[in-house]
Amino acid sequence: MWNYFKLIATGSWSLAVGMWIVLRHAFKRPVTVQYPYESVRLPARYRGHIELKREAAGGQPKCVACLACQRACPSGCIALDGVKPEGAPRKVLTLYTLNFTTCSLCGLCVESCAFDALQFSKDYNLASVRKEDYQMDLLTPGEKHS
């Protein structure tokens, strides 16, 4: 008989604690989002794939094709090229591709750039079953390189 009342008491207590937790969280700001209809706000130091930084005026890449990032990459996933037009003060980028399948997001390329021309993107919606989708053309974003 004593056990019967003890079970009712512990069950009620457990129910009350559970309800208290539910009520407490019911009025808090949600930490989840309605993916894929909403996107999460990413922290400033989030590392997506690398991307080229561009001049505010004209939108040209700040990259001068010095190859430092390509040499710094331990995974060999950057390929780039540039030409120096007649009379131009610096090289102009003609190719910049990233093989994101082998990128470890180590950041050595970003660190090695003396021209502040590279940064990590905030792009995280990259799920695909085609590995070609991870051959990225950073010079003309949105286009794929195979």
CB of 111 to ligand SF4, least distance (A): 8
Tell me how long the chain is. 146
Looking at the Cβ atoms of 112 and 121, the one nearer to ligand SF4 is: 112
- DSSP code of residue 46: -
* Peptide bond preceding 74 in cis form (omega within 30 of 0): no
Q: How far apart are CA 97 and CA 136, in angstroms?
A: 5
Q: Is 105 in contact with 116 (CB distance < 8 Å)?
A: no
CB of 24 to ligand SF4, least distance (A): 42
CB of 118 to ligand SF4, least distance (A): 5
Looking at the Cβ atoms of 10 and 60, the one nearer to ligand SF4 is: 60
Burial label for 96, CB within 10 Å (0-12, 13-18, 19+), is buried
Looking at the Cβ atoms of 76 and 142, the one nearer to ligand SF4 is: 76
| Footprint on this chain of ligand SF4 (rule: CB under 6 A) | 50, 63-69, 72-73, 75, 77-78, 80, 103-109, 112-113, 115, 117-118
Q: Is 100 in contact with 49 (CB distance < 8 Å)?
A: yes
CB of 53 to ligand SF4, least distance (A): 8
Looking at the Cβ atoms of 19 and 111, the one nearer to ligand SF4 is: 111
